[in-house]
Chains A and B, each alone.
Chain A
Amino acid sequence: MFDEKKMKATFDQVHASDALLTEVLEMMPNNTNQHIHKPHRIARTLLIAAVLLCVLAGTVTAAVSGAVRVNGDIAGIMDSWFGSSGDYASGSAIVKYDEWGKLSMNIPAWSRESLDMDVAERLVASYLYTLEGNTVTKGGFTYTIHAILYDSNTGAVMVCWSVENPNGLGEYGLSPNGEVFLLEGSAMRWVVGGRNYLDTVNSTDTKLYISSFGVASDDELWARFGVCNDPENGKYAKEFDEQKIILPRSDRGGMKALTFNDNITVSPVAIRFDALEESADLEELIIAYTDGSEYVVFSDSTFVDNTTYGVDSSQGYVTYSFNRIVDVDKVSAIVVNGEVYAVN
C-alpha cells in the first residue's frame, strides 16, 4: 500500500522542466538572455470565497430515511466503542524500525476507561440506531450492521457490525492497539469508516465484531461489504463481489455539545475544530472536569493518543473521536496547546 520504495518510484517521476533549468542557468550575470518566469496569479481571497460557496452548497444534503431502533445489547455496543472490556484497553507507545532503519510502526500510548452506563444512557444511548435491511451476504460471509451513531455536531460516526462465516474467516491483520485490517490474501472485503477495531469481547473464530470510526462529509454515508474473488492479488485485486449500502443519518438531531471560541465543538463522543489554518498545529488537547480530573485526548510531547479516529480535512476542519464518553455536563474547560478555554 505505502512503502519507501513506492514513494521513491513515484516522486522520481516529478522533475523540474528543461525550460526551468534553462531559466535558472540564465540567471547568472554572464548570461545575456536573462528573464524571470512569473506565472499568472489571481487573488487568493477569490479562491477562498469559491471554496466557501461549495461547502455551503454541500450542507443542503438532507437526512436519509430508513433508520430504525436498535434491538440489541446497547450497553455491549457502547462498551465496544467507549469502554475498556476488550483485550486492547491500554498500551504503551510502540515504536519499531524496519531492516533499513526506517520507522515502520509508530503508535502512541493509549488508555481506555470503564464505561459509565449512567452517563452513556443520559448523553448517548438514545442516539443509537440501525437500518432496515442491515445484512449483506457474499461468498459465504454474512455482514450485519448492528448499530450506528452519528453525531451531527462534529460529523463523527461510529458503526458496530459483524462478519461471520461458519467455514472460517481467513486472513486478516491485527495491530497491537486492536486495529483490524485486511491483508493481501484476505477473502473478506469491507470498507467501513476510517479505522476499525476488533471487539474481542464478542468475537469468535468464525465471527468478528468490529467497531468502525469515521467522520461524515457532506456526502452520503455508506459501507461496502463483499468478498474478494482474487485474493492472491491482494489489495490490488480487481475481482470484488461487493455491495454498497447507504447508511441513514438519524434525524434525532445533535447530542448535547459545548462550544468554545466560536470554532471548537465538544460533544460526548468527539471534538471538532473549524476554521483552522492549514498550518495550525494541534499538539495537545486536554479536557478538564469540574472534579479536577482530566482526559488527555492527545499529547505530542508525551506521545499519548486517546482518540479512535482523527480527520484533518483539507476543508479546514479537524475532528477527533474520543475513546471514552465525555460527560459534557461536567466539563470545566478544554486546554488546546496549553491555552485554556473555560466553560461559560
Chain B
Amino acid sequence: MTDTQFTYLATKYIDTVFRVALNFLKNKADAEDITQTVFLKLYREPKPFDSEAHIKHWLIRVTLNECKKTVCSPFRSAENIDDYANSLRFDTPEHSDLFDAVMDLPQKYRVPIFLYYYENYSTAEISKLLSIPTPTVATRLHRARALLKTKLQEVNDHV
C-alpha cells in the first residue's frame, strides 16, 4: 500500500474505526490505541483488497478482533466514558440521552445496534463480523431496542 493510499484511507475511515472501538470498549483511550493498531495492520497488510467496501469491512472486522483481545487483557485504563461524553457537542439533549443510553447497554447489545443502525450492516453481515449466528443478532437487536426504550423512558422521566 502506498503512502498516498494509506493517507486517503486513514483520513476517510479513522472515525469509523474509532467509533466501533469506542462502542465496543466504552473507553476513549483504549479506542485510540485500537485505532492505531488497526491502521498499522492495514499499512502492513500484504494482501490486496477487492474494493473500498472490502477495506471498510476488513477494518471493522480487525477492529472488533482487536477489541476482543483488549477486553481479555489484564490491563485496561480506568477512564470514565462520562468524561468523554461530556466533551461531545450534541445538537439536542435527546442526542446526548441516546448516546448515554447506548453506552449504558451491555457490550453484546451495544455493538450490534451500532453496526446495524449507524453502519447500516445487515443482520447477516453483523453475524459474520461478530462470528455469531444471525438469529442471535436479531435477538440482540430486539433486546437492545427494548432496553433502549426503557432507558430513554427513564431519562425522559428525569427531565
Interface residues of A (CB under 8 A from B): 1-2, 4, 6-11, 13-17, 20-21, 23-25, 27-28, 30, 36-45, 47, 95, 102-103, 106-108, 191, 194-195, 224, 235-236, 238, 278-279, 281, 283, 300-301, 303, 310, 312-314
Which residue on chain A has the smallest CB distance to residue B3? A28
Q: Per-residue 0/1 for B61-90: is the Cβ within 8 Å of any A Cβ (1 yes, 0 no)?
A: 000000000010111111100000000111
A-B contact count (CB 8 A): 165
Contact flag A13-B95 (CB < 8 Å), given A20-B32, A30-B3, A106-B142: yes
Which residue on chain A has the smallest CB distance to residue B117? A7
Complex-state Cα separation, A103 to B96, whole angstroms = 24
Contact flag A10-B98 (CB < 8 Å), given A43-B74, A106-B142: yes
Contact flag A27-B157 (CB < 8 Å), given A37-B33, A39-B29, A44-B74: no
Q: Per-residue 0/1 for B138-152: is the Cβ within 8 Å of any A Cβ (1 yes, 0 no)?
A: 110111011111101
Contact flag A47-B18 (CB < 8 Å), given A2-B145, A37-B33: no
Complex-state Cα separation, A224 to B154, whole angstroms = 11
Which residue on chain B has the smallest CB distance to residue A42? B78
Subset of 14 A-B contacts with CB under 8 Å: A14-B18, A16-B32, A20-B35, A24-B14, A24-B36, A28-B6, A30-B3, A42-B77, A106-B145, A195-B150, A279-B71, A283-B139, A312-B106, A314-B104
Which residues does chain B contribute within 8 Å of A27, judged by CB atoms? 36, 39-40, 43
Pairwise interchain contact B118-A2, C-beta atoms closer than 8 A = no
Interface footprint category on B: 35 or more
Nearest-Cβ distance from residue A337 to partner chain B, whole angstroms: 11
Q: CB < 8 Å: which of A9, A37, A191, A283 contacts B154?
A: A191
Pairwise interchain contact A279-B135, C-beta atoms closer than 8 A = no
Q: Does B11 contact A (CB under 8 A)?
A: yes
Which residue on chain B has the smallest CB distance to residue A44? B76
Complex-state Cα separation, A112 to B74, whole angstroms = 45
Pairwise interchain contact A9-B91, C-beta atoms closer than 8 A = yes
Nearest-Cβ distance from residue B99 to partner chain A, whole angstroms: 5
Which residues does chain A contribute within 8 Å of B147, judged by CB atoms? 312
Which residues does chain B contribute within 8 Å of A283, judged by CB atoms? 136, 139
Complex-state Cα separation, A17 to B157, whole angstroms = 34
Complex-state Cα separation, A8 to B99, whole angstroms = 11
Nearest-Cβ distance from residue A127 to partner chain B, whole angstroms: 25
Which residues does chain B contribute within 8 Å of A1, judged by CB atoms? 148-149, 152-153
Complex-state Cα separation, A223 to B109, whole angstroms = 27
Not counting A1-B148, A278-B108, a sample of 20 additional A-B residue pairs whose C-beta atoms are within 8 angstroms of each other reads A2-B145, A2-B149, A10-B90, A11-B118, A13-B95, A14-B22, A16-B14, A16-B17, A16-B35, A21-B10, A24-B14, A25-B10, A27-B43, A39-B30, A41-B75, A42-B75, A191-B154, A191-B157, A300-B139, A313-B106
Which residue on chain B has the smallest CB distance to residue A47? B78
Complex-state Cα separation, A2 to B114, whole angstroms = 12
Which residues does chain A contribute within 8 Å of B124, judged by CB atoms? none
Nearest-Cβ distance from residue A238 to partner chain B, whole angstroms: 6
Which residue on chain A has the smallest CB distance to residue B98? A10
Interface residues of B (CB under 8 A from A): 3, 6-7, 10-11, 14-15, 17-19, 22, 29-30, 32-33, 35-36, 39-40, 43, 71, 73-79, 88-91, 94-96, 98-99, 101-102, 104, 106-109, 113-114, 116-118, 123, 132-133, 135-136, 138-139, 141-143, 145-150, 152-154, 156-157, 159
Pairwise interchain contact A20-B99, C-beta atoms closer than 8 A = no
Contact flag A15-B36 (CB < 8 Å), given A2-B149, A41-B76, A191-B153: no
Nearest-Cβ distance from residue A338 to partner chain B, whole angstroms: 13
Which residue on chain A has the smallest CB distance to residue B114? A11
Complex-state Cα separation, A314 to B105, whole angstroms = 7
Which residues does chain A contribute within 8 Å of B146, judged by CB atoms? 195, 310
Contact flag A14-B139 (CB < 8 Å), given A7-B98, A44-B75: no
Nearest-Cβ distance from residue B124 to partner chain A, whole angstroms: 12
Pairwise interchain contact A38-B33, C-beta atoms closer than 8 A = yes
Contact flag A16-B149 (CB < 8 Å), given A25-B10, A37-B33: no
Pairwise interchain contact A312-B18, C-beta atoms closer than 8 A = no
Pairwise interchain contact A9-B15, C-beta atoms closer than 8 A = no
Contact flag A8-B36 (CB < 8 Å), given A2-B149, A16-B14, A278-B108: no
Which residue on chain B has the smallest CB distance to residue A21? B14
Complex-state Cα separation, A41 to B114, whole angstroms = 27
Which residues does chain A contribute within 8 Å of B19, judged by CB atoms? 11, 14
Nearest-Cβ distance from residue A306 to partner chain B, whole angstroms: 14
Complex-state Cα separation, A225 to B118, whole angstroms = 35
Which residue on chain B has the smallest CB distance to residue A280? B108
